[in-house]
A and B are shown apart, each in its own frame.
Chain A
Amino acid sequence: MSDRAGAPGRPAGAHPLQDIRRIFAIWIALSIVGDLIFWFVAGPHVPPGDMTSSASGAQFDFNVLFMVALPVILGVWTYMGYAVLMWRASRPGVPDPVGGPRARSNLKVQLWWIVLTTITVLGMFIFGTVELIVPAGAGGAEGPNPIWTPTSKTILPVQVIAQQWKFTYRYPTFGGMETNTLVIPDNTTIAFHVTSLDVIHSFWAYQLGVKIDANPGVDDIGYTTTNQLGRFSVRCNELCGIWHGAMWDFGKVVTKSQFMRWGEATERAHADNTKYLPPFAWTYVPTANTTTGVTVANTSGQAPFSKVQKYGATTSAKKTLKNVVTATSTITTGGSTG
């Protein structure tokens, strides 16, 4: 109605959609500039970096989502900024608004809005799903029976044991030895088997782009493939009590030969304690709710650990799992002391 020429304060002959055209032009310009700057300037530095396949995957996904999100944000901001500047009552010559049915709804605009948001959302969903399934779970937790597994022939299993308030790491390929720091080889697909001895924790190897919750009695598996040497930090990501904030340490990605040397040396050095550890298993079930806290006893007299698989042996992911599961056992409960 008043869109037409002759509305007060508007140059005669102006197009009815003049405002929308302006907003659109500003939006396109801002979006292109913003997206380009982000992709080329900030994009390569977006956490968690590119130390592993899952880290670079997360970085790529973040960047793609950002490229979609930025124009959405800019679109709303441009429109609202324009509205605030041009359609405010304090600006001289702003015409009185017009009510009535045309201001109440516009079927075409509503339909377009719904269609566009739906397409965007479905596009992001398809992208996210592909990016989740193709890289075998993208470094996230896949539960005890992963369905999306890596194609690599050699997969190094590393067990992450969370307890209040420290992560320790067990290597079935080095005689079931347990260490306080995480060391993994370069150019290798790692299967992290995360479990907890008490409450829920979460294993967040930040630069590796890996985050897997540690649940008591659950073998939670996640995969990543390393492709850079360096140090990374590990933090607990699920509130687990007073020292949650201090439950962190640093890990290392080293070359394969360094890793073998380290593994064998540590296996020897730790042998004095490894023989007392419970047999290697994917989960451990300490008695949970006793009045005296935990009471664990190893009275079986059997060999307390078994050499499961030598690192470097050629097996598929599922087979790795199967082979090691045969060594499953649990810690039995025994007598109690205060």
Chain B
Amino acid sequence: MLGLFAVVAFLVVWTAMSFVATEPATVSFIKGHSPGAPVHLVAQTDGAVGTGAHPTWVSYQVETPQSRKWVHTTLWQLPANTRIDVTIYQFDSGSPLRNQQWGRVTGTIGNSATITGTTFQVVNSYQHTVGHTFTVPTLGINVPLRGVDTSKKGFCTSGPCNPKTQLHHTVTFSFKTPKLPGNYRFQCFIPCGAGHYAGNGGPMQTLGYMGGFLEVQA
């Protein structure tokens, strides 16, 4: 019985540890960053991430600041009280928003963003579908990322996608990280967890795909 308990306890700990170990990696934008200078953050949103345990799920990927490699994670370490210039390559198709409230750009510098060079403040998601949103509720940041037209050539079916050759929208905006260090969650407000009730299962509820943290550090 003691042996049984030991075996079971080992299995439990082992399962828990292997489970915890699947948490996504963290990409740091602090290492090698000179204080005060703006951080340039490049990310992409894919219709199918192409790697990991769920290669067909939608996901964010982020470019590491030094080696310029795409990493499949949503844990981004950012310096506090710093301007972040964000470029997101949006490769996914879109749908109307569940709540059109998230069609409005908020919380960025100038309360606006640009799409392929054009400044915008609101996206009517019934007219132009939205692929994903970049939303940090605690900081009031929300940027809708318009969906691409799947009927056009060059639609990316598996990530990481190539912004040089494949169909996408380039959305840029800037925001300032808060002075207070902490973990600020970001998520997507498009029900893009296809096949799940209300579109909010799967990638929407898994760290590393459509939800993550801005780990703001002093």
Residues of A within 8 A of B (CB): 161, 163-166, 168, 178, 180, 197-199, 216, 241-243, 246, 249, 270, 272-273, 276-278, 286, 288-299, 334, 336-338
Partner of B95, one of A164, A270, A273, A338: A338
Q: Chain B's nearest CB lies how many Å from the CB of A215?
A: 13
Task: Give CA–CA (A198, B103) in the complex, Å.
Answer: 18
Are A296 and B93 also in contact (CB < 8 A) when A243-B185, A246-B137, A276-B103 are?
no
Inter-chain contact B95/A293, CB cutoff 8 Å: yes
A-B contact pairs, 18 of them (CB 8 A): A163-B189, A165-B187, A178-B100, A241-B200, A241-B205, A243-B211, A246-B137, A246-B138, A273-B100, A273-B103, A278-B100, A286-B198, A293-B199, A294-B199, A296-B98, A297-B96, A337-B150, A338-B150
Residues of chain B within 8 A (CB-CB) of A246 are 137-138, 185
**Other A-B pairs, 17, CB within 8 Å; known A293-B191, A338-B93:** A163-B99, A166-B135, A197-B198, A198-B200, A199-B197, A199-B200, A272-B121, A272-B122, A273-B100, A278-B100, A288-B197, A289-B197, A292-B95, A293-B192, A294-B198, A295-B96, A296-B98
Task: Give CA–CA (A26, B1) in the complex, Å.
Answer: 50
Task: Give CA–CA (A165, B191) in the complex, Å.
Answer: 11
Task: Give CA–CA (A278, B211) in the complex, Å.
Answer: 26
Residues of B within 8 A of A (CB): 47, 92-101, 103-104, 106, 121-122, 124-126, 129, 135, 137-138, 140, 147, 150, 185, 187, 189-200, 204-207, 211
User: Which 7 residue pairs across A and B have the least CB separation, nearest first?
Assistant: A293-B199, A293-B191, A198-B198, A338-B93, A273-B104, A242-B205, A296-B96
Residues of chain A within 8 A (CB-CB) of B199 are 290, 292-294
Residues of chain A within 8 A (CB-CB) of B150 are 337-338
Task: Give CA–CA (A298, B129) in the complex, Å.
Answer: 12
Inter-chain contact A273/B198, CB cutoff 8 Å: no
Q: Chain B's nearest CB lies how many Å from the CB of A81?
A: 38
Task: Give CA–CA (A168, B199) in the complex, Å.
Answer: 19
Task: Give CA–CA (A338, B156) in the complex, Å.
Answer: 13
Residues of chain A within 8 A (CB-CB) of B211 are 242-243
Task: Give CA–CA (A178, B122) in the complex, Å.
Answer: 14
Q: Chain A's nearest CB lies how many Å from the CB of B182?
A: 11
Task: Give CA–CA (A337, B131) in the complex, Å.
Answer: 10
* Residue among A166, A290, A293, A337 having the largest count of chain B Cβ atoms under 10 Å: A293
Residues of chain B within 8 A (CB-CB) of A296 are 95-98, 126
Partner of B99, one of A197, A270, A288, A289: A197
Q: Chain A's nearest CB lies how many Å from the CB of B207?
A: 7
Residues of chain B within 8 A (CB-CB) of A241 are 200, 205
Report the nearest A residue to B196, measured CB to CB.
A293
Partner of B137, one of A178, A249, A336: A249
Q: Chain B's nearest CB lies how many Å from the CB of A265?
A: 15
Task: Give CA–CA (A197, B150) in the complex, Å.
Answer: 27
Partner of A295, one of B92, B95, B205: B95
Task: Give CA–CA (A164, B187) in the complex, Å.
Answer: 10
Q: Chain B's nearest CB lies how many Å from the CB of A140?
A: 26
* Residue among B106, B187, B189, B199 having the largest count of chain A Cβ atoms under 10 Å: B199
Report the nearest A residue to B127, measured CB to CB.
A276
Are A292 and B100 also in contact (CB < 8 A) when A166-B137, A297-B126, A338-B47 are?
no
Report the nearest A residue to B202, measured CB to CB.
A293
Residues of chain B within 8 A (CB-CB) of A337 are 93-95, 129, 147, 150
Inter-chain contact A293/B99, CB cutoff 8 Å: no
Residues of chain A within 8 A (CB-CB) of B196 are 293
Inter-chain contact A164/B204, CB cutoff 8 Å: yes
Inter-chain contact A276/B100, CB cutoff 8 Å: yes
